[in-house]
Amino acid sequence: RLDCSSLLHQLLYHTLLCTLRLGPVAIVFSSHILLRFACLRVVARNMATQLQPRDAKLEDLQGILKTDLSAFDGNPERVKNIAKNGLEQTKERLLDKYAKYINNTERFKTIVVEINGDIACIGVLDFKPFEDDRGLSDDATDIQSKGYNAYNDVFHTYFAKYAGKLVMLRTLATHQDNQRQGCGKAILASLKKAAAEGEQRVIAVYSSTMAEAFYTREGFRLEGTRGKADNPALGYAFGGV
C-alpha cells in the first residue's frame, strides 16, 4: 500500500530544498518527478507482492477456464476446435484436461498466479511427456522402437534425444487483462525451479510464433518447427546437457 506519510515527508523535504537552491519555479517540476517516481515504486512493489505462484486446486477450475479462454481467444487452433465441437463442449474438454492436470500431481505440476482474487495466469509442466495410454517409458530406445510420434512426429524428432531428462511445458497462459505484468515470467520461473528440483535437464515447449520472442528472452533455444504454420518448438536446457 502507498505510505502517504512517508511520501509527503519526502516531498516536503525536496520541495524545500529546491526552493532554497533554485527558487519557486523548480518546486512544481521537482514535486511532479518525485511523486511519479514514488508511485511507480509503489506499483512495482505491489505487483511483485501479488505475483506469487501457488499450486492449483480443483476450486480454481472455473477461473482457470476463464483465463485459458481469454489467453487463446483468436488462436487458430482454438477457433478450429470451437467451430468443430462447439463452445460448450470445448469448455467441458478444457475443464476435464485441467482437472486431470491438477489431480495427477505425480506427473503434472500445475500452478497459478492470482491478482485481486482472480486467476491471472496458469502454467502446467509435464514430468512424463513420453508416456501415453500404451505405457511407453521414458527410455529413448523404447520410444524409437515403438515409433512414438506425438504432436505430428515433431516431439519425437526434436526431443527424443532428451528422453529421461526432459519435461514438457503443456500450458502457459495469461488472461488478456493481466498481460505484460510479469505473470508469465513469474509462472515460468517457478516451473523452471520445479524442473531443476526434479533433476530434469530440458524444458520443451511448442510455442506460437508470437510467443517465441518471450521464450527466447527466457533462455529457450529453437529446436525446430511443427505444423503448417511452422510454429516453433523450443527447449530450455539446464547445465550438463
Whether residue 74 is found in the same domain as residue 29:
no
Choose the weakest-confidence range: 110-119, 173-182, 221-230. Answer: 221-230
Whether residue 44 is found in the same domain as residue 95:
no
- Across 150-160, average pLDDT: 61
Q: Where does the pLDDT of residue 222 fall: very low under 50, low under 70, confident under 90, or very high at 90 and above?
A: confident
Give residue 107's domain range: 53-237
Cell of 228: 503448417
Q: Which residues on neighbouring strands pair with residue 122, listed in sequence order?
A: 112, 173
- The enclosing domain of 81 has a CATH number of 3.40.630.30
* Residues 219, 221, 224: CA angle, nearest 5 degrees: 155
Whether residue 137 is found in the same domain as residue 219:
yes
Whether residue 168 is found in the same domain as residue 205:
yes
What is the model's pLDDT at position 96? 96
With 0-12 / 13-18 / 19 or more C-beta atoms within 10 angstroms meaning exposed / middle / buried, residue 147 is exposed
Whether residue 39 is found in the same domain as residue 130:
no
- Across 190-212, average pLDDT: 84
Whether residue 32 is found in the same domain as residue 117:
no
Choose the weakest-confidence range: 7-21, 27-41, 44-58, 96-110. Answer: 27-41
Whether residue 69 is found in the same domain as residue 156:
yes
Q: Which residue has the higher pLDDT, 178 or 5?
A: 178
- Across 7-20, average pLDDT: 60
Phi-psi region at 126: left, alpha or beta (left = phi > 0; alpha = psi -120 to 50): beta
Whether residue 57 is found in the same domain as residue 20:
no
Q: Which residue has the higher pLDDT, 199 or 212?
A: 212
Task: Quote the number of domains for the chain.
Answer: 2
The pTM of this model reads 0.70
CB 164 within 8 A of CB 138: yes
Q: Which of 62-66, 114-118, 133-137, 159-163 has the highest mean pLDDT?
A: 62-66
85-116 pLDDT, tens digit per residue, is 999 999 999 999 999 999 999 999 999 999 98
- The distance from CA 60 to its chain's CA centroid, rounded to whole angstroms, is 16
Whether residue 133 is found in the same domain as residue 208:
yes
pLDDT greater than 50 at residue 48: no
pLDDT greater than 90 at residue 120: yes
Q: Which residues on neighbouring strands pair with residue 172, listed in sequence order?
A: 123
Whether residue 23 is found in the same domain as residue 61:
no
User: Mean pLDDT in the chain?
Assistant: 76
Q: Where does the pLDDT of residue 71 fall: very low under 50, low under 70, confident under 90, or very high at 90 and above?
A: very high
Domain end, chosen from 15, 31, 48, is at: 48
Q: Residue 218: helix, strand or coil by DSSP? A: coil
